[in-house]
Amino acid sequence: MLYMMDVAFFTAVIMVFLRLIGFFTVTPVFFPKGTPAILKVAFTLILSYMLVPGIDYSQISNINNTMVFITNCSSEIITGLALGFMTQLCFMAIRLGGNYMDIQVGFSMVSMLDPNTSSNSTLIERLLYWTGLILFFMVDGHHMLITQLIDSFNAVTIGRFILNQETASIIIEVFIQFFIMGLKIAIPIVLIIIIAELTLGLVGRAVPQLNVMILGLPLKIIVGLATLILAMPIIFKLIATGFSNIPEAFKGFFRGVPPILFIFASEDKTEEATPHKLQEARKKGQVAKSKEVGLAFTLLMSTLVISFLGQYAIENLQNVMTAFLKDFMGMELNYKNLFYISLTIVMRSALIILPLIIPIMIMGIFANFIQTGFIFTKETLKPDIKKLNPVNGFKKIFSTRTLVELVKDLALVNVVGYVGYRFLKKNYIEILNLNNLRFPIMLKAFKGIAVKAFFNITLVMIFIAVGDFIFQKKKYKKDMKMSKQEVKEEFKQQEGDPQIKGKIRQKQREMAMRRMMQSVPDATVVITNPTHIASSLKI
């Protein structure tokens, strides 16, 4: 039992660490650029270890497989990134206000590289940013942020997925409010500079001999700096108000957090899909299919085509070039010869391209066929107004399905990119030396390198495709599951409602009884059993 508690504790430490590291990654207030990565990780890990005893990590017991663990880790990273992004919006608003001031005053031409953000920033923009940073620590903003992070584990327990329509709307609202704050910071100088420019325009109109362009720039700089000094108390108040609004933004964000979601958890749909539902879904084109399988098969066929038909394509290209240079260069250009040349180009291009393309196309069709079999449906071609509903599209963006696809695509890009990087690193010298070879030898050498690259990537893609196909199969079965009520409703649709069928049988018995009683007066004799049987006979 002690061992299980230790596992749960250290799993919770990992989850808390992921949320905090996501927050600190987006918010460079605590760790400016240049801070050693080891220091960042060590500080975050120590802070996570200190926080875990004070939070509820009972949800850790729900983690019973690797996919749920990965889902919980992804949820924690997303939570940290979302909270960090909302915090960073306040500092971005300060920079925005300073940038607008520089544009009006004329300092936008004096841009310098800010090593903290690795971007160009203007003079007043940097001044306001560092002033805001000092003010942030003076008002104990760092203590406030750490307190909010601790409270976030009570509002958003470990493993909860936070992105939905409400939380996205809250993030957009926070962005709008901080954007307005940035405009308010810049408004005093912007308005005064506009008034100064209007005044200069009137002066230039009244005294045409005066060079307003030369006089205007230093005048705007003097007026802008004087206004900035006078408006500093107002700017400080706006910045401090923005810092005090960060906790309110967090609380509003926490109120929009949905209930706990697991990709493989469902309380209502516990019954396996019936054959009828699977058949109806198949008619609509809803089947388990992995796009990675098609990609892996086409890559495999592309590798084979390059290996076995690459020399054929190279030789035919050489023959075509030789024929054109020898036969067609001296030919007189008229309509007849032009038609003959065009027809020859099409025919010879087809002889080169089609043997390369057709096997790849056939393999792509075969890859889909082995996954789903033959399906012919028109359902996917029918227009559906619901597909144009922006609300439904917005919900799809912030759904667990989209998150899984995003994680899968990122993993695919990383794996394939790593394989390509390893291949280039291994063959880098050989590729650089290709220009030392004669052209025919260069083509053969390039073909060999291309085949090796395709082979390495194809091998990785086959493993990814197999794993994704198994995942899609399980996911399809999970999506097709039915609730007990859905099974009952389907049975009623196929067999009829049992209550209605009972009523029909009762009416049939009553009608048969009435017909029998109407025929009794016509009987010749009635034979009765004293207890329960009577029979009428007609002779």
**Rounded Cα gap, residues 250 and 170, in angstroms:** 9
Question: Is the pLDDT score of 236 beyond 70?
Answer: yes
**Rounded Cα gap, residues 81 and 406, in angstroms:** 16
Shared domain for 482 and 506, answered yes or no, is: no
Which residue, 220, 255, 290, sits at the end of a domain? 255
pLDDT in tens, 407-420: 776 676 677 667 77
Shared domain for 10 and 94, answered yes or no, is: yes
Question: Is the pLDDT score of 513 beyond 50?
Answer: yes
In a domain, 269, yes or no: no
Shared domain for 211 and 351, answered yes or no, is: no
Which residue, 489, 509, 528, sits at the end of a domain? 489
Which residues make beta-bridge pairs with 114? 119
Shared domain for 296 and 333, answered yes or no, is: yes
Count of domains forming the chain: 3
DSSP 156: S
Shared domain for 251 and 395, answered yes or no, is: no
Please identify which residue in the block is written with the tokens 């504790």: 9
Shared domain for 197 and 75, answered yes or no, is: yes
Which residue, 226, 255, 284, sits at the end of a domain? 255
Please identify which residue in the block is written with the tokens 């049975």: 491
* Angle at alpha carbon of residue 135, lines to 131 and 140, rounded to 5°: 155
In a domain, 71, yes or no: yes
Under the phi-then-psi rule, with left for phi > 0, alpha for psi from -120 to 50, and beta for the rest, what region is 140?
A: left
Shared domain for 182 and 40, answered yes or no, is: yes
Other beta carbons within 10 angstroms of residue 399's beta carbon come to 16
In a domain, 261, yes or no: no
* Angle at alpha carbon of residue 488, lines to 485 and 494, rounded to 5°: 140
pLDDT in tens, 79-88: 888 888 888 8
Range of the domain at 241: 2-255
For residue 363, give the nearest of 444, 405, 305 by alpha carbon: 305
Shared domain for 188 and 119, answered yes or no, is: yes
In a domain, 264, yes or no: no
pLDDT band at 261 (very low <50, low <70, confident <90, very high): very low
Which pair of tokens denotes residue 364? 């792509």
For residue 140, give the nearest of 265, 286, 243 by alpha carbon: 243
In a domain, 361, yes or no: yes
Shared domain for 331 and 467, answered yes or no, is: yes
**pTM summary value:** 0.48
**Rounded Cα gap, residues 293 and 363, in angstroms:** 11
pLDDT of residue 431: 65
Shared domain for 433 and 525, answered yes or no, is: no
pLDDT of residue 257: 55
In a domain, 25, yes or no: yes
**Rounded Cα gap, residues 289 and 266, in angstroms:** 22
Please identify which residue in the block is written with the tokens 């605590």: 30
Give the percent of the chain with pLDDT over 70: 76
**Rounded Cα gap, residues 501 and 521, in angstroms:** 32
**Rounded Cα gap, residues 200 and 470, in angstroms:** 73
pLDDT in tens, 443-460: 677 777 777 777 877 888
**Rounded Cα gap, residues 270 and 175, in angstroms:** 41
In a domain, 58, yes or no: yes
